[in-house]
Structure 1
Amino acid sequence: MTSALEAVRSRRSWSKVTDAAPTRAELLTLMSAAGRVADHSSMEPWRVIELRGSDRERLGRAINKAEGQGGSSSKPLRAPLLLAVVATYRKNDKVPRWEQEAVASGVAHVLSLLLDEAGWGVIWRTGHYTRSKAVAKLHGLAKNEELMGWLYVGGKPPKARPGRRKVVDARRHFSRLPSAKRVDERDLSELDAQA
């Protein structure tokens, strides 16, 4: 069994997949694990909608409608299974909307890692039409919900070589808390600049 570190380091997006797809039972197991992301007050502000077969064609029509075009977009046909990840916001004085969206995004990311580790090719696709009325209506979204995007899932092509991703230089994104003196000096210089 791979470690979490190995799974994350080897993850890549699969833009081309085969027609194979995980079963509903497999998905439920993986979603149960993905739902363990950090979730303030255990609100579970997310849900996942499964799209297979002709559901993908219906999504293609909704995407084209959102784009002001007729016909059907072929984008949803790029994978046999699409998993629409939805943020479901709940009123809560302790947990702001952005934090609930972060939970839904976390579930999507962890689910993509779990699917990849289970041998499935996955890519997270979005687009401005995720916020369109036509696409929201197709997915049956309530007023307190937003579509975060879709995980396109299928089999990994047998001859495809895993791509190499650039190693992230963590030093560029990691720092220490500024000293109190430096913060005070910066605050003073910002005040001088505003004057």
Structure 2
Amino acid sequence: MSALEAMRVRRSLLRVTDEAPTHAELVELVSAAGRVADHSGLAPWRLIELRGDDRERLGRALHKAERKRGVSTKPLRAPLLIAVVARIRPSHKVPEWEQEAVAAGVAHMLSLLLDEAGWGVFWRTGDATRSKAVAKAHGLARNERLLGWLYVGGKPERSRELRIKTVDGERFLSSMPRKKDKKGKKK
């Protein structure tokens, strides 16, 4: 499958099975996803693999962030969660927003690779990504920001039948505006 075709058929699956890629399979995909465009080669990202009890620890941190007791079941919706972390590095050439964009680019590339490899993937974000309790659970340093989690699992049989939505590229593509002359005509 070409990269173009892989992107056309990709979709988020909100329900996945209990199967997940192995650590070794994941390492191979992360190695490829890490080739995302990265101004100055800062590699301002890292990923955290959450399986088994790690998901329950995250569930406790999510509830703590919301000032609730107990454990949120959200992290249990997939057998593998991959936390996407932007590692902001001091740079006079690369602003913080661009470093976060690189981390998000790695996550998106990884989601495409996982989808192409036959895994179901969806990306979760939210206010909890910036909470102290969730940052502590992930062991984030002061210069790190959690961007969200990729939820990964097997693709249910029924998901293969889902309709693929198309995007009208013409709607989102425009030319740079041109200046108008004194008569109001574009130059």
TM range (shorter): over 0.9
DSSP 3-state at the match of 1:19: coil
Match of residue 77 from structure 1: 76
Question: 1:18-64, CA deviations, whole angstroms, 9 ceiling, x for partnerless residues?
Answer: 11110111111100100111100111000000000000000000000
CA RMSD of aligned residues (A): 1.2
Contact 2:45/2:102 (<8 A) preserved: yes
Match of residue 191 from structure 1: none
Aligned length: 182
Match of residue 119 from structure 1: 118
TM-superposed deviation, 1:162: 4.0
Contact 1:136/1:147 (<8 A) preserved: yes
Question: 1:157-177, CA deviations, whole angstroms, 9 ceiling, x for partnerless residues?
Answer: 123334324321112211111
DSSP 3-state at the match of 1:180: coil
Which sections of structure 2, spanning at least 5 residues, go unmatched?
Answer: none
CA distance in 2, matches of 1:13, 1:39: 25
Contact 2:16/2:154 (<8 A) preserved: yes
The 1:20–1:168 alpha-carbon spacing in structure 2 relative to 1, beyond 3 Å, is same
CA distance in 1, matches of 2:161, 2:91: 43
Match of residue 91 from structure 1: 90
Contact 2:13/2:159 (<8 A) preserved: no
Contact 1:63/1:73 (<8 A) preserved: yes
CA distance in 2, matches of 1:23, 1:86: 21
CA distance in 2, matches of 1:163, 1:62: 34
Q: Is residue 172 of structure 1 aligned with residue 157 of structure 2?
A: no
DSSP 3-state at the match of 1:82: strand
CA distance in 2, matches of 1:162, 1:142: 43
Which sections of structure 1, spanning at least 5 residues, go unmatched?
Answer: 186-195
Query: What amino acid maps onto 1:136 in structure 2?
Result: A
